Structure 1
Amino acid sequence: MPHPLPGAVGLSHLSAYDWEAADGVCGGSPHLHLVCTEAYVVTGGRGAVQTLSPDGCRELPLEPGAIAWFTPGTVHRMVQGGDLRITVLMQNSGLPEAGDAVFTFPPEVLADPDRYAAAAQLPPGTGPETATAARRRRDLAVEGYLVLREALAAGDTGPYLEFQRAAARLVRDKVPHWRELWQAGALATAERTGAQLDALASGEPAYLDEATAYEAGPTRLGGFGMCGRRDEYNLPGTTLPYGGE
């Protein structure tokens, strides 16, 4: 992967949705990542991130300067509290865009790959049609999320664990492609560091002759992401749109 960001991370900026959901909360589409840890760096406003995991239901406050991160398998939902804006750092750049993120749609949708794909896909662009589809997708994800949350709150981990298994089944066929992306991105970056350490130890750091700098700016503003309106960078593996967003 040419010129990856440090650590081959993904990068985007999000403004949390202010659409009210069925439970009266304004925010994004609950989902999990299967192999990626995600971090929120809060740059403005107020809000929270609601999470579901085997250790229960949590709500982490978000305010400027705060950082929150969640490991693979953790369902997370960004909640708007007022002008919330965050920078997202994503492990294994390229994998979320390749399907590592799975929405908390109801079980009957997760069980049918074609139905899931139709519900997750958005029309291209940033106009009203895309906004309507993004809100409909968010509402469907919240529908499934509320069932999982209610069960966890009652001490029943069964529905949550079944959602994790259903998500894993849904993406199983994509794993060979994900492995290629990982090998070209995060793994290659780590191996390059190993080669640089070997060169330093030998006293022949020829790789330093290739030192240079790069720059980039957002190439799409206000796209419809999972959690909110998203500013993206057209860098290899960084924030290419999620499945047509």
Structure 2
Amino acid sequence: MNTAGVPGLPGVPGFPGGTAVSGLRVYDWEAADGLCGGSPHLHTVSTEAYVVTGGTGQVHTISMAGAAEHGLAAGSLLWFSPGTVHRLVNSRQLTLNVIMSNAGLPEAGDAVLTFPRAILADPDKYVQHAVLPRDADEAVVAAAARRRRDLAVEGYAELHTSVLREGPDALAAFHRAAAVLVRPRVERWKKIWSETVRSQVDATEQALEDLADGSARPLAGAAVATAGRRPGEGYGMCGRLTTWDDSRVV
């Protein structure tokens, strides 16, 4: 049972470091440029890491250092900071575990797809193309996810060409457009972040103070937690997602 709030028993400990983890099977849909894979995008405040569990592929990135391609195979570990545009390419059955900082924020919309400029400049059009249908048949959702991916790849090609021609200024322009799109969500993000990441940081600070005073009080919350895997797979930006929920003390 979940013992959070039960007197004398520890609550569910937060997942390490205020992070979140999911499993990902990268899309094998072929795009217009002949590459199979996911929807290029960036995150505005969250760092993302890939721990590759199987298959082979690449992640194509655009950062302030320019455009690059990074090979991925089982055992690869790669991560990138907010503002880095990334596109997963599936060469052969690419699967990985994704670790995100700021648990809760990516799920609350901390991502901007590389749609063509005309769509990025219109928040209503952006939402129209970015949000997948809910409570629809799987085939309908899959088709919408593929259309979204294709549109993001189209815009990514524009951005990639601009970065090669203009350098970091082209990426900075995309960053400004992304900031405008996410601004309405930021107040909600602050609340989520405060209740998750900040609360863990504050707890660690208090634990250090207690231990410095010779108190073992931080250890009184010793507990083991588990989470249930959600049935089926969801459609993410880059592939089919495995996620977990219903955390509880065991």
Q: Do both share a fold (TM > 0.5)?
A: yes
* Structure 2: segments with no counterpart, 5+ residues: 1-10
Contact in 2 for aligned 1:151/1:157 (Cα 8 Å): no
Deviation at 1:155, TM superposition (A): 4.2
Q: Which residue of 2 aligns with 1:162?
A: 173
Letter in 2 for 1:34: T
Deviation per residue, 1:3-58 (Å, 9 max, x gap): 32101101100011000111111000000000011000001111110001121111
Letter in 2 for 1:22: A
Q: Which residue of 2 aligns with 1:203?
A: 214
1:99-114 alignment, distance < 5 Å:
99-114=109-124
Q: Which residue of 2 aligns with 1:33?
A: 43
Q: Which residue of 2 aligns with 1:143?
A: 154
Q: 1:124 to 1:151 in 2, by over 3 A?
A: same
CA distance in 2, matches of 1:221, 1:159: 39
1:30-109 alignment, distance < 5 Å:
30-109=40-119
Letter in 2 for 1:217: G
CA distance in 1, matches of 2:171, 2:30: 24
Q: 125-134 vs 156-165, which deviates more?
A: 156-165
Report the secondary structure of 1:48's partner residue: strand
Does 2:30 match 1:20?
A: yes
Deviation per residue, 1:173-204 (Å, 9 max, x gap): 21111111111111111111111111111112
**Aligned residues with identical type, % of pairs:** 48
Deviation at 1:124, TM superposition (A): 2.7
Q: 1:64 to 1:152 in 2, by over 3 A?
A: same
* Structure 1: segments with no counterpart, 5+ residues: 237-245
Q: Which residue of 2 aligns with 1:240?
A: none
CA distance in 1, matches of 2:246, 2:67: 35
Does 2:194 match 1:193?
A: no
Does 2:103 match 1:118?
A: no
Report the secondary structure of 1:209's partner residue: helix
CA distance in 2, matches of 1:153, 1:207: 52
1:165-180 alignment, distance < 5 Å:
165-180=176-191
Deviation per residue, 1:196-220 (Å, 9 max, x gap): 1111111122232221101113213
Q: CA RMSD in A?
A: 1.6
> Which of 183, 186, 197 matches 2:194?
183
Report the secondary structure of 1:229's partner residue: strand
TM-score normalised by L of structure 1: 0.92
Deviation at 1:156, TM superposition (A): 3.7
CA distance in 2, matches of 1:111, 1:204: 55
Deviation at 1:90, TM superposition (A): 0.1
Q: Which residue of 2 aligns with 1:213?
A: 224
Deviation at 1:235, TM superposition (A): 5.2
CA distance in 2, matches of 1:100, 1:136: 20
Q: Which residue of 1 aligns with 2:8?
A: none
CA distance in 2, matches of 1:136, 1:63: 27
Equivalences, count: 236
> Which of 136, 142, 145 matches 1:134?
145
Structure (1 or 2) with the larger CA radius of gyration: 2
Moved >6 Å (runs of 4+): none
Report the secondary structure of 1:215's partner residue: strand
CA distance in 2, matches of 1:227, 1:190: 30
